[in-house]
Amino acid sequence: MNHPIQGVLPVIHTPFRDDESIDAEALQREVDWIYEVGADGLCAAMVSEILRLSPSERFELIEMLVQMSDNRGPVIASVGAETTRQALEYARHAQQSGCAAVMAIPPISTGISDEAAWDYFSTLAREIELPLIVQDASSYVGKAISTQFFARLLNEFGADKILFKPEAAPIGPLLSELRDQTQGQAQIFDGSGGILLVDCYRRGIRGTMPGVDLLDAVVLLWRALKDGDDAAAYQLYFPICAIVALQLQAGLDGFLAIEKYLLQKRGIFTSTRRRMPYQWELDHETASELDRLFDHLQSAITTTAV
């Protein structure tokens, strides 16, 4: 079955056992919960700790996600790498494994020119049959990608082949700029944990790619926005924003630490283990504030789900 690439497509978090191997049982619980709360599919990307996995582990994770998803929705694999050769290897594996699309950030170990970036992304687009989601993850890692570059890719390969996840600041105005430069053809997804979802939705995005930790609330928020129910949307949105604001203070490490803390709190993960090294640990006071905000979010979910 060909599932459309749209709606709520969360980026999974990779659970680890004490020996740092992937915890398949916890991952299955996560995947099942993703679909139980109404998500449209799932992704493996930055907060999946993709950059901290070995090549064989990246292959293993994608194969597990396709199998565990069991055709309930599209599986999207992040294939960004430091060389075009590596990215192609990851992308070919994703295609062979049954993924619906691939997503790629540019190389991050060095700043590359627009022409080098063009060679990288255009080679992926030509060599892989799947749609390619071009991700600007410069709010976490790497160099920002201009809307002119995005538009050039779309003009060359078409709107069904090239999709976008722009996360450079300021996200909202740049999203509108890309929309307008492509006469509304660009299929755009937002990220950033959902903190800008309402603004981005009103600018015409096709879907959102949040983490899994707040997914039940994000699904309800997405539905409220589609229904034009602003009262419900903002009731959910404010506690989501408050939690994501705490994540943002420590960048990618902040997202990883807090998202895994909340997944353990929900009983989906048994451990908050992350791949080392990292810079930021969740302290007791931040955890206490998270607990208070999580209670507010649960109240909002209960109220709006009735």
Residue 157 lies in a domain: yes
Amino acid 1: pLDDT: 66
Taking only the tens of pLDDT, the chain with its 306 residues reads: 689 999 999 999 999 999 999 999 999 999 999 999 999 999 999 999 999 999 999 999 999 999 999 999 999 999 999 999 999 999 999 999 999 999 999 998 877 889 999 999 999 999 999 999 999 876 666 677 899 999 999 999 999 999 999 988 899 999 999 999 999 999 999 988 899 999 999 999 999 999 999 999 999 999 999 999 999 999 999 999 999 999 999 988 999 999 999 999 999 999 999 999 999 999 999 999 999 999 999 999 999 976
Range of the domain at 128: 7-305
| Sequence-ordered list of residues with C-beta below 8 angstroms from that of 90, at least 6 positions apart, any chain | 55, 58, 59, 77, 79, 81, 102
CATH number assigned to the domain comprising residue 23: 3.20.20.70
Task: Report how far residue 154's alpha carbon sits from residue 175's, in angstroms, rounded to the nearest whole number.
Answer: 14
Place of tokens 């699309």: 101
Query: To the nearest whole number, what is the mean pLDDT of the chain?
Result: 95
Place of tokens 């949040």: 210
Number of domains in the chain: 1
Residue 1 lies in a domain: no
The SS3 assignment for 162 reads strand
Amino acid 305: pLDDT: 75
Instruction: Decide if 247 contacts 212 (C-beta within 8 A).
Output: no
Amino acid 252: pLDDT: 87
> pLDDT per residue over 112-128, tens digit each?
889 999 999 999 999 99
Task: Report how far residue 176's alpha carbon sits from residue 200's, in angstroms, rounded to the nearest whole number.
Answer: 9
CB atoms under 10 Å from CB of 148, counted, come to 11
R_g over Cα of the chain? 18
Q: What are phi and psi of 188, to 5 degrees?
A: -120, 140
Task: Report how far residue 226's alpha carbon sits from residue 233's, in angstroms, rounded to the nearest whole number.
Answer: 10
